């Protein structure tokens, strides 16, 4: 059984990737967001560039802000985006 996670992208992350969402199959070795980021970096040049400076990105798991060491287990949707700039 493969675990699947829906990832949504916003702002320049979305534009650079050329997509606003995708379903990622999680290898057994990926349990935290940090590990997922490493996995995503292996998917291609654009991914590796975007995730090169992970401090410029923010993560929300099922619509709650989380840090890189947060577990993915049971989550349905991960959002990856730059710091918010509304208001």
Partner 1 sequence: MIKISVQKSDFDAGLEISKLSELGGGAVSSFVGQVRGDKQLQALELEYYPAMTEKALREIAKQATGKWPIHGLVIIHRVGRMAIGDQIVLTGVCSDHRHAAISACSFLMDQLKTVAPFWKKEIMSDGVEKWVDERQSDIDAAQNWRN
Q: Which positions touch partner 1 (CB under 8 A)?
A: 8, 10-12, 60, 63, 65, 77, 79, 81-87
Residue 19: CB minimum distance to partner 1, A: 14
Residue 86: CB minimum distance to partner 1, A: 3
Residue 51: CB minimum distance to partner 1, A: 17
Cα separation values, 3 from 6, 27, 73, 83, Å? 10, 8, 9, 28
Whichever of 27 and 82 has its CB closer to partner 1, that residue is: 82
- Characterize the bridge pairing of strands 64-66 and 77-81: unpaired
Token reading at 82: 């730059």
């Amino acid at each position: 059984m493969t675990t699947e996670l829906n990832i949504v992208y916003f702002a320049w992350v979305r534009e650079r990737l050329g997509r606003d969402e995708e379903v990622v199959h999680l290898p057994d070795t990926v349990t935290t967001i940090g590990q997922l980021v490493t996995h995503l970096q292996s998917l291609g040049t654009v991914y590796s560039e975007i995730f090169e400076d992970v401090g410029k990105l923010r993560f929300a798991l099922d619509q709650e802000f989380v840090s890189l060491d947060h577990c993915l287990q049971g989550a349905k949707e991960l959002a990856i985006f730059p710091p918010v700039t509304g208001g």
